[in-house]
Structure 1
Amino acid sequence: MKNYLFIFAIFIGYAYCQTDTDAKNLLTNLFTTQSYNKLVRPTRNQSEPTAIWIEFFLYGINGFDEIQQKLTTTAYLEIYWYDELLAWTPSSYGNLSDIFLPQEDIWRPDIALENGFKDLESLGSKFIHAEVEHDGLVLWKPFHVFNSRCKLDSTYFPFEKQSCDIDFVAWAFDESEVYLAVGTDGVNTEDATDSNGQWELVSSSIVSFSDEGVSQIRATLVIKRKPLFFIINIILPIVLLSILNIFTFQIPADIGERMGYTVTVWLSFAVFLTIISASLPQSSDTIPVLSIYIIIQLSIGTFSVLLSAWLSRIVGRADDIPVYLLLKKVALMKRRLQCACSNGKVDNIVKHCKIDQNGDEHFNAKNETDSTKREKSDESNIDWKEGVAALDFTCFWIFIIVLIISTLAMLMTSALQN
């Protein structure tokens, strides 16, 4: 019994043994006897189109050039089709079921990157081999660094997402000869590395379509910018400088250091914007929300310098403020506010206020006539120093509110986009 098993094992091993002679005979039969020609489309019925299946395997995102609007990715394609002229019977060649042939020796679809930056060039290299199965199935895996065009949308910088298309086309063939289809895996990102320090992949998709009778494949990559660097190095310093700028109005206008402080903060703004200019999107197609935010804060800074210069000029005047000036109305409003907040006990206000239990201000009935006269007298006796202080108080709170609203609006707009 053991002898029979031994003989059977030898027979099976011999039956499935593939020698170099089998491979040579197969290649001779395909390329010499059958005169295989790589210029002939690989179908016996030339009136039928050849189906090409494509899968996109992403290795990594190398970078995104915002000026040229160019996305650089490293990937390879799995392209497979049936070549009826490369089929054979395995039993005739020692059960040889597959062989590897240089890509230059067989017919290949002239697939090219349509939205690239360079001239059209064929995929793959001479050292790449294609695997050919006995039933004619050809598997070709060209590796490439793709430079594709991608329109930049910097509206929500640095929280934006970019949707970039990588289009492949069978350049010389129309749809009646070669049509491209999506393979089983579509876009495969399992091997993609998160090595890019600025961008990360959010999602991907792939579709096939026809454009003017030419079959195409479009792989779409949605990438998102990593915002931490820009938050720490751009947004946070701008907010802090804006706060310093607003506190200009907490320094009395009659102190000489106020103008020096105001100009120093404004120059800090200007120098900082010069430093970060290289980090901002350099595109004129869209205006980032962050740029609008910077313009608002810089406008407040410029207004603070101009206003401080004017207030420093008028604060030392000895006469009273004319009735027709808005500055006087602002000072009166501040007086009434101080009166309401201090229960009528304000040293600089002659008017007698009284707050009842419900918190409503009313005049004392006994002194109503005198209070009215004194109030009119107060309205005519507001000096420039008090008016300037009231304007500083008003500007401080207005700009604090503007800073909070503009900052929240910028962050919420970007959050909604994500």
Structure 2
Amino acid sequence: MMRKLGIAAFLYIIFLCCVTGASLNDTKTLLRDLLSNYNKNVRPVHNQSESVNVTVQLNVKSIQEFNEVSQVFSVAAAFSIRWKDESMTWNPANYGGAYQMMTSYDDVWVPELILTSPSDDVESLGAAWNRIRYFADGTAVWLPVALVTSTCTVDVEIYPFDTQTCTLSYIAMGWYDSGEVFFLPATEEVDITSFSEHPVWDLVETTAKSEQVGRYSQVSFSFKLKRRPAYVFVNVVLPILLLSVLNVLVFLLVPESGERVSFCITVLLSIAVFMTIVSAMLPRTSKPVPIVTYKLIVDMVISAAVTVVVILNLRIYSRETEISVPVWLVGIYRFWKCDDCQKRKTETLGKTSKATRIQTVKIISEAENENDINRRLSELIDEEQITWKKISYMVDGVAFWLFGLATLCSFAVYLAIVTSRGE
């Protein structure tokens, strides 16, 4: 029994020796010794001709804002920045086994990372409340968090099937000469393990790279974003198509309704309002002009042409019956009705008035042969049947198919262009 107690006591003593860490006094002493002769304005390398290699890792939590009109891109991000500080090394055995420590951001040297394309004021990364963790070999770890707001050039040519690329670039401009500080990305991609999806934009791809810009080292993080087009397609594109279809349906309204012109003007104004709405959703730039803007312009031109045709056709419809229809219009009408012209002639001949029948008998008696009879009867029937109202109906039919085809073609071309370029 005593032997077992002795073994247990021995193991307990060994355990205490292994787990005992540095005391508060040890840490205070370590911090005092390291910072007593420390100068944060001097790069932390003994050989000042050497560069300080700074490794930067970006972890994106979410996309806070992407405003296409103001071209502002904002993300909530956490950074992991590491470098070697040769002035902050120690032997843990001399300080109670302390192998790491933390100190204030303002007390030590930190790399100045400045965003090259800020949307507001130019500021360096970091804040006074940040802490730097040091390890015994001089490795420094800085974990700042920030809401990074940058400008981003937007290309909305194929809106709403567009893909945007925004880049956050950090540089030590104005602080260090060439080769004094060199930025390196920790990985070739941005860390998105804790990323929260955005309701409008899909994060398709990220890249991280370092490059030399003039005399300075720069680290850049790029985000490739693809818009989710469902919302814009349902609320903008489909209403534009429906307005275009309504525009053509005016030719199915009977002229007696008296609503044709007001209907056309209402549709024209609706398209103009939609053009204003779409313009407010996009940046004011001419390079490039969104294809949807061209689509709306085409729709406005078609709508204006429809309005003009409707007004002119109403004038044709209202012409006096005493005014004869020109021969060339009669020819066009015959061509348009060629499928059932013989049937109509036969039916019309049976429904003619008494005066017309007398005229028919006269034609037959004066005709020289059967061909002459058919020709003169055809002219008589056409003169009685083809009126200005029927010419107006013909114009309605031709315009309906012509403008309907133009509307469908413009929409099909728009979809083909934006979907092909969006792939």
- Is the shorter-chain TM-score for this pair beyond 0.5, marking a shared fold? yes
Summarize the Cα distance change of 1:17–1:257 in structure 2 as closer, same or farther, 3 Å threshold: closer
Structure 1 gaps, min length 5: 352-365
Summarize the Cα distance change of 1:260–1:120 in structure 2 as closer, same or farther, 3 Å threshold: closer
Alpha-carbon displacement from aligned partner over 1:180-226 (angstroms, at most 9, x marks no partner):
111037401111112x4332322111111111131111111111222
Q: Please report the TM-score for the alignment, with normalisation by the length of structure 2.
A: 0.85
- What's 2:398 paired with? 394
Secondary structure of the structure 2 residue equivalent to 1:260: helix
Instruction: Please say if residues 321 and 383 of structure 1, whose CA atoms lie closer than 8 Å, have aligned partners that are also in contact.
Output: yes
- What's 1:31 paired with? 35
- What's 1:191 paired with? 194
What does 1:325-404 align with in structure 2 at a 5 Å threshold?
330-338=332-340, 344-347=342-345, 382-404=386-408
| 1:54 and 2:56 correspond | yes
| 1:71 and 2:69 correspond | no
- Write the distance in 1 (CA, Å) between the matches of 2:86 and 2:378: 105
Alpha-carbon displacement from aligned partner over 1:98-118 (angstroms, at most 9, x marks no partner):
111111111111111011123
What does 1:173-322 align with in structure 2 at a 5 Å threshold?
173-184=176-187, 186-194=189-197, 196-253=198-255, 255-274=257-276, 277-317=279-319, 318=321, 319-322=323-326
- Write the distance in 2 (CA, Å) between the matches of 1:286 and 1:338: 52
By how many angstroms is 1:73 displaced? Answer: 1.4
Secondary structure of the structure 2 residue equivalent to 1:187: coil
- Write the distance in 2 (CA, Å) between the matches of 1:181 and 1:411: 43
Summarize the Cα distance change of 1:53–1:389 in structure 2 as closer, same or farther, 3 Å threshold: same
By how many angstroms is 1:68 displaced? Answer: 2.5
- Name whichever of 327-336 and 213-222 sits farther off: 327-336
- Write the distance in 2 (CA, Å) between the matches of 1:369 and 1:100: 115
- What's 1:7 paired with? 10
Work out which of the residue numbers 156, 170, 185 in structure 1 matches 2:172: 170
Number of residues paired by the alignment?
A: 395
Secondary structure of the structure 1 residue equivalent to 2:187: strand
- Write the distance in 2 (CA, Å) between the matches of 1:141 and 1:209: 23
By how many angstroms is 1:404 displaced? Answer: 1.7
Alpha-carbon displacement from aligned partner over 1:143-169 (angstroms, at most 9, x marks no partner):
111121111111111121111111111
Corresponding letter in the other structure for 2:343:
K
Instruction: Please say if residues 306 and 403 of structure 2, whose CA atoms lie closer than 8 Å, have aligned partners that are also in contact.
Output: no
Summarize the Cα distance change of 1:409–1:368 in structure 2 as closer, same or farther, 3 Å threshold: farther
Q: Please report the TM-score for the alignment, with normalisation by the length of structure 1.
A: 0.86
- Write the distance in 2 (CA, Å) between the matches of 1:262 and 1:229: 28
| Structure with the largest fraction of helix | 2
Secondary structure of the structure 2 residue equivalent to 1:147: strand
- Name whichever of 144-153 and 407-416 sits farther off: 407-416
- Write the distance in 2 (CA, Å) between the matches of 1:348 and 1:166: 81
